[in-house]
């Protein structure tokens, strides 16, 4: 495992490169455990997708073993498809409940669902940001990185000040999402996501990326110019509040560091 601070303006963020997916997952789980040890009622958001599955398994193991108290956490779902509910088969919230929230036994009152089924989605999205603020803001945001550089569903075109809002999904993102249900689900053309502006206000941000298939977008996000075409590039604005955890494959196109 290698870890180093990288300069990006007056502060630095850290990049840790690990030899295995299991270690990547354990380090991500450590970030959650440390956050809740310091502030048991902290507000946090965690991602969906293949990469965080190992983190969720490790968190559930720690909860079952009595090593982690998740019962007071205020959990804010990161994103979901517009119009979906946790009862829908193709719902990221339903996926998250099955994979983590239910096994973690987090009280329903502590789970804040993205208001994707609201009659006025834009107003509801603004209200979701107010809910986060009322909890003191996000103490921790663990996020993944999409093949096109999206963070949550902040697709290319998203900027660093964007709030929680309704977004149009690119065809590639919809195809990737359909793969979670073996291509059988009808993925909506729009979604609601916590915005980059809200994520960048988090006190701690952990980006986890696994696999050589993400190496190019990792390189663009960490070494390329800041651009709305690669939303992940804006994470560097968090400076020392940003921690990047990569496996060898995901880090394979980064420039050699001294």
* 24-81 residue pLDDT tens: 999 999 999 999 999 999 999 999 999 999 999 999 999 999 999 999 999 999 999 9
Question: Across the beta sheet with 11-18, what order do the strands follow?
Answer: 2-8, 11-18, 242-247, 205-209, 138-143, 43-45, 74-76, 111-112
Cα dihedral 25/175/196/238 (nearest 10): 40
Mean pLDDT (whole number) for 172-180: 82
Catalytic site includes residue 148: yes
Confidence grade of residue 177 (pLDDT, cut at 50, 70, 90): confident
88, 148, 216, 226: the active-site residue: 148
What is the distance in angstroms between the CA of the first residue and the CA of the last residue of the chain? Answer: 15
Task: Identify any residues that bridge with 165 across adjacent strands, giving them in sequence order.
Answer: 193
- Which residue among the candidates 129, 139, 155, 162 is catalytic per the annotation? 155
Closest CA relative to residue 43, chosen from 201, 164, 177, 160: 201
Residue 7: which pLDDT band, with cuts at 50, 70 and 90? very low
Per-residue pLDDT at 192? 98
Handedness of CA 149, 150, 154, 157 (dihedral sign): positive
The predicted structure's pLDDT at residue 9: 46
**How many CA atoms are closer than 13 Å to the CA of 258, on its beta-carbon side?**
1
Residue 112 a catalytic site member: no
Q: Is 223 a catalytic residue?
A: no
The confidence band for 2, taking pLDDT boundaries of 50, 70 and 90, is low
Which of 161 and 5 is assigned the larger pLDDT? 161
Rounded to whole angstroms, the Cα distance separating 48 from 144 reads: 8
pLDDT score for 24: 98
Q: Is residue 179's pLDDT more than 50?
A: yes
What pLDDT does 257 receive? 66
Catalytic residue flag (residue 80) = no
Tokens matching residue 172: 């590639």
- Confidence at residue 3, expressed as pLDDT on a 0 to 100 scale: 56
Q: Which residues lie below 8 Å from residue 153, measured CB to CB, with a gap of 6+? A: 79, 167, 169, 173, 191, 192, 193
Position with higher pLDDT, 256 vs 200: 200
Strands 190-193 and 205-209 come out as unpaired
Dig out the tokens for 106 from the structure.
Answer: 């987090």
pLDDT grade, residue 4 (50/70/90)? Answer: low
pLDDT in tens, 180-214: 766 657 888 999 999 999 999 999 999 999 999 99
∠ Cα 16 19 23 (to 5°): 75
Tell me the domains of the chain and their CATH numbers: 2-247 (3.40.50.1360)
* pLDDT of res. 8: 45
Hey, which residues does 5 pair with through a beta bridge?
14
Which position has the token pair 């987090």? 106
Instruction: List, for residues 209-251, the tens digit of each pLDDT value.
Output: 999 999 999 999 999 999 999 999 999 999 999 999 999 999 9
Catalytic residue among 58, 129, 139, 150: 150
152, 161 in Cβ contact below 8 A?
no
Is residue 118's pLDDT more than 70?
A: yes
**Residue 257, Cβ density class (10 Å: 0-12 exposed, 13-18 middle, ≥19 buried):** exposed
Rounded (5°) CA angle 12-13-18: 140
Q: What local confidence, expressed as pLDDT, does residue 169 receive? A: 95
Return d(Cα 121, Cα 127) in angstroms, integer: 10
Which tokens go with 199? 């994520």
């Amino acid at each position: 495992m290698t870890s180093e601070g990288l300069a990006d303006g007056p502060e630095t963020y850290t990049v840790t490169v690990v030899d295995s997916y299991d270690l990547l997952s354990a380090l991500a789980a450590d970030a959650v455990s440390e956050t809740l040890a310091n502030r048991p009622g902290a507000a946090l958001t965690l991602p969906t997708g293949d990469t965080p599955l190992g983190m969720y398994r490790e968190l559930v193991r720690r909860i079952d073993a009595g090593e982690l108290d998740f019962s007071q956490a205020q959990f804010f779902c990161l994103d979901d498809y517009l119009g979906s509910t946790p009862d829908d088969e193709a719902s990221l919230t339903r996926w998250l409940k099955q994979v983590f929230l239910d096994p973690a036994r987090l009280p329903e009152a502590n789970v804040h669902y993205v208001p994707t089924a609201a009659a006025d989605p834009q107003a509801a999205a603004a209200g979701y940001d107010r809910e986060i603020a009322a909890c003191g803001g996000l103490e921790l945001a663990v996020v993944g990185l999409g093949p096109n550089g999206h963070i949550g569903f902040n697709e290319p075109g998203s900027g660093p000040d964007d709030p929680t809002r309704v977004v149009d999904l690119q065809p590639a993102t919809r195809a990737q999402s359909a793969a979670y249900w073996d291509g059988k689900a009808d993925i909506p053309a729009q979604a609601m996501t916590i915005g980059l502006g809200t994520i960048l206000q988090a006190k701690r941000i952990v980006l986890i990326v696994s696999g050589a298939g993400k190496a190019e977008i990792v390189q663009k996000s960490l070494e390329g110019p800041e651009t709305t075409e690669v939303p992940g590039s804006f994470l560097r604005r968090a400076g020392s509040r940003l921690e990047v955890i990569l496996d060898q494959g995901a880090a394979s196109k980064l420039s050699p560091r001294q």
